Structure 1
C-alpha cells in the first residue's frame, strides 16, 4: 500500500535525511553543503521532499528508528521518503536529481515527485524540461517516457563514478495541452 505523503519544499533541517537517501541511491551523492547551497538559491533551484503524512504507520516508525540509529538525530517529525530537484532558468526546467528511499521504491513515489516538479515548473513559467539519465537505468527511462520525455542526445562519459554515458531527454512544450494529457 502506498503511504500517504506530503510534498513540500526542502528545508535545511531535511538535509541529513536527504543525504542519507542520496547515499543509498547514487554512487556519487551530493554533499550536505551542496544541498544547503541549493536550498538557499531559491531563485533558480527548487528542491522538494516527500514525507510520510502518517508517521505512526509501521514502516515510518521503523524508518525513524533506523535514521536515529544511523545519525543519532531525532530532528524530524515525519520521515522523508524521497526528494527531487529542479533548476528553472530561462524557461528550461532541468530535473537535477530525484530519488526514493529503497524501502519505499516501487510504490509510485518517484512518479509523484516527477509530476510534482513538472507542475511546479509549469506554475513558475517553465516552457520545457530536460534531464540526464544513465543509459543503463531503464526503469527511470520508462518513467520519463511515460511523461513524454524523448531522447534528444547522448552525453559521453557523463557519470564520473564509472564513465557511463547519459541520455539527454527532453519534453516540450510544458503547456496547458501537456497538463491535460
Structure 2
C-alpha cells in the first residue's frame, strides 16, 4: 500500500519541523536562521517539503543560478526513511531545475554515505569529481555528483 504525501513549497511555519529533521540527519545541521534566510531572502533558493498527514517528513533545497542547479540539502525524517520520499524529492528537484532552465543539477555527498550515493545513482546522478576535506566536522571528502536535466 502506498502512502499519500504532498510535495509543496516550504513555508516559515515549517521551520521547526524542518530544523528537527536537519538535526536528526546531519552532524553539522543548518540553523533555523539559515533556513529562514534561504526561504525568505535567497532569490536563488527553492525549498520544498514533503507533508504526510499534516506532518513535514522531508525537505530539499535547490539553488538555481543560470544554467546550474545545486541541491543544498535533502533529508527525510528517520522514522519515514525507506518509503521512497527521498527519491520523490530528488525527482521533484530534477523537474524543478529543468523548469527553471538549468542544464545540470549537482550535489555533494560524503564518500562514506553509500546509501545516499545509491539513491542518487538510481535517479541518474553520476560522480563528477571530489572535494577534498569538504566536511568540517571530520574533514571527510565529498563526492560531487551531477545529472543532466535538459
TM over 0.5: yes
Aligned residues: 150
Query: Residue 158 in 1 paired to residue 134 in 2?
Result: yes
Counterparts of 1:154 and 1:114, CA distance in 2: 21
After superposition, give the CA deviation of every residue in 1:84-124 in whole Å (9 maximum; x if it has no partner): 00000011110110000000001100000110111111111
- The structure having more radius of gyration, on CA atoms, is 1
The equivalences for 1:5-84 within 5 A come to: 5-41=5-41, 43-52=43-52, 55=53, 78-84=54-60
Supply the distance in 1 between the matched residues of 2:8 and 2:63 (Cα, whole angstroms): 16
Residue 3 of structure 1 and its aligned partner are, at CA, apart by: 2.3
Distance (Å, rounded) in 2 between the aligned partners of 1:42 and 1:4: 30
Secondary structure of the 1:28 match is coil
- Which residue number in structure 2 is paired with residue 122 of structure 1? 98
Question: SS where residue 94 of structure 1 aligns?
Answer: strand
DSSP 3-state at the match of 2:136:
coil
Structure with the higher fraction of residues in helix conformation: 1
**C-alpha separation between the residues in 2 aligned to 1:116 and 1:41?**
22
Partners of 1:170 and 1:117 lie apart in 2 by 13
TM-score by length of 2: 0.96
User: 1:107 and 2:45 equivalent?
Assistant: no
Structure 2 counterpart SS, 1:129? strand
Check if 1:168 corresponds to 2:144: yes
The structure carrying a bigger strand percent of its residues is 2
Alignment partner of 2:125 out of 149, 152, 172 = 149
Structure 1 segments of 4+ aligned residues over 4 angstroms from their partners = none
Kindly report the root-mean-square deviation, in angstroms, between the aligned alpha carbons of the 2 structures.
1.1
Closer, same or farther: CA 157–97 of 1 in aligned 2, 3 Å: same
Aligned partners of 2:81, 2:61: CA distance in 1, in Å?
Answer: 18
